[in-house]
Structure 1
Amino acid sequence: MKKLILTAALLSGIPAASANAAVVTAQSGNPTGGAGYNFNVVLGGGDQTSFQGTVGSWSWNDSTIAEGEGWRHQADWIAFTLTEPSYLHLEISRVDETADAKLFPSYTLLRFFNDTTDGPHFFDNDANIQWTAGSVEMEYLAHLDNSTSGSVHEHYHLPAGDYTLAIGGNAQSEAVAENVNYTAFLAADAITVPEPSAALLALIGAGSLLLRRRH
């Protein structure tokens, strides 16, 4: 799914710096219309934010339950809004390499905001999530399954809209569970559609002329 997001966006535009770029402070708690979030932030083109949180060492994936199952209340849930189509940079890493050695940061990226605190204690980390009947169904977009590194980074082309990021740990479930600390960084570069070059326009014109001559 991630590759589909990237490919579609690459056809439509390229990242561009914004004159209104700023460092934005992520707020604790829920966005307007959302429920069950640890942080929320609104990012315009060129904006960036960073924040720190604490999660369970295997909160993103607990293989003792089932592969692909995470602990809802031991993971951190981040709501972010992109005000325009953006090239999103995402980085998550340990706060302290020694104290947080059992953190192998992993995440799930979803479209839309959750709107309820009801529902089960577990979540599918690679599928749509709807906590209760009648609540918003968050659309699965991508995930990063990391069990070897203390930091991860990825990039996504995304349309404007509301998104949910579920961050958790992915240590071996047989190990003693610990609370571990992470730091996250998000940056959004606006995507602009480039003007066609003179050479490209000339090629298009030549092709049209050739077609007319053939007919």
Structure 2
Amino acid sequence: MRHQPFYFTLMGVGLWLAGALPSHASTIVPTPGYAPGIGYEWGVAMSGTDSAIYQGSVGAKSWNEPTNPPDAKGWTHTSDWTAIELTDAATLTVTLARQSGVPFTLPNGTVVIEGDLLTPALSLYAGWETTGPETHTFNPTGNISWASELTYLAHEANPLSLTSITRTFELAAGRYSLVYGGNPSDPTVTGFHGYQATLSTVPLPAAVWLFGSGVTGLAAWARRRTSTIA
């Protein structure tokens, strides 16, 4: 992976969610160090009523490099990976937005400001990859050949080239991996560009989880203690 994130924020939202408790601040850990697997940039622990906001930067084509093979479109070392720990079954909402003014510290200590032309895209996997070792590329739309501990769940490619995307997932308690990257429609966009990620959870009612996820989802949960309703 490229770098240790320069900036992060712990955020507790004092708004009442319909039918739920107030949201609280989650625990955010930059570069949690789950080596020798994926070099996660972030570790986020969340309950069913949490929120998290943090910023970083990724490569312009880090989620989809047009010249890469179909099952290896993403660049592992220029995308950003978040290891999520959900302590409760929850509806997880993820918003990934272009962000200007994101700082980055060079090895010599110089601080530069990253670009602001990101076309955001993201993928979600069940599990954490802690064995690896990672390679330079990954599959953003399916299982990753070298990541045996991850199971692909969903992605948002952002085909309309929006500056902000939002996806909602209904998830069991467990471990998940989110990867953020860039998918520009303009191939001339290069370099690194800033993002802001906003994550929030709402408790998933037991009835929804037991009866709405279906037999397949329950079977997957029994095997991995984690699954999704995309």
Q: Aligning the two structures, in what range does the TM-score lie when normalised by the shorter sequence?
A: 0.7 to 0.9
2:150 corresponds in structure 1 to 138
- Residue-by-residue CA offset, 1:162-181 (whole Å, 9 max, x unaligned): 00001000014731411000
Alignment of 1:94 with 2:98, yes or no, is yes
For structure 2, the residue ranges without an aligned partner over 5 or more in a row are 1-17, 102-113, 208-230
- Residue-by-residue CA offset, 1:117-162 (whole Å, 9 max, x unaligned): 5242111111112426xxx430000000014110001111111100
CA RMSD of aligned residues (A): 2.5
| Matching residue's letter, 2:141 | D
- Which piece of structure 1 moves more, 26-35 or 162-171? 26-35
Alignment partner for residue 203 of structure 2, among 178, 190, 205? 190
Is the contact between residue 56 and residue 180 of structure 1 (CA under 8 Å) also seen in structure 2?
yes
Alignment partner for residue 79 of structure 1, among 71, 79, 83? 83
| Matching residue's letter, 2:77 | H
Is the contact between residue 63 and residue 173 of structure 1 (CA under 8 Å) also seen in structure 2?
no
1:65 corresponds in structure 2 to 68
Alignment partner for residue 54 of structure 1, among 54, 57, 65? 57
- Which piece of structure 1 moves more, 74-83 or 63-72? 63-72
| Cα distance in 1 for residues equivalent to 2:157 and 2:138 | 15
| Cα distance in 2 for residues equivalent to 1:172 and 1:101 | 15
- Residue-by-residue CA offset, 1:52-81 (whole Å, 9 max, x unaligned): 011000100001123461101000000001
- Summarize the alignment of residues 154-173 of structure 1 with structure 2, pairs less than 5 Å apart: 154-172=167-185
- Relative contact order: is structure 1 or structure 2 higher (C-alpha 8 Å, sep ≥ 6)? 1
1:22 corresponds in structure 2 to 24
| Cα distance in 2 for residues equivalent to 1:113 and 1:137 | 6
| Cα distance in 2 for residues equivalent to 1:157 and 1:109 | 12
Note the C-alpha offset of 1:89.
Answer: 0.9
| Cα distance in 2 for residues equivalent to 1:141 and 1:128 | 9
Alignment of 1:149 with 2:162, yes or no, is yes
Is the contact between residue 16 and residue 192 of structure 1 (CA under 8 Å) also seen in structure 2?
no
| Cα distance in 2 for residues equivalent to 1:67 and 1:169 | 16
Structure possessing the higher radius of gyration over alpha carbons: 1
Provide TM-score, normalisation by structure 1: 0.73
Alignment partner for residue 120 of structure 1, among 135, 138, 148? 135
2:217 corresponds in structure 1 to none
Is the contact between residue 102 and residue 178 of structure 1 (CA under 8 Å) also seen in structure 2?
no
Count of residue pairs the alignment pairs up: 176
Alignment partner for residue 45 of structure 2, among 14, 28, 42? 42
Higher helix share: 1
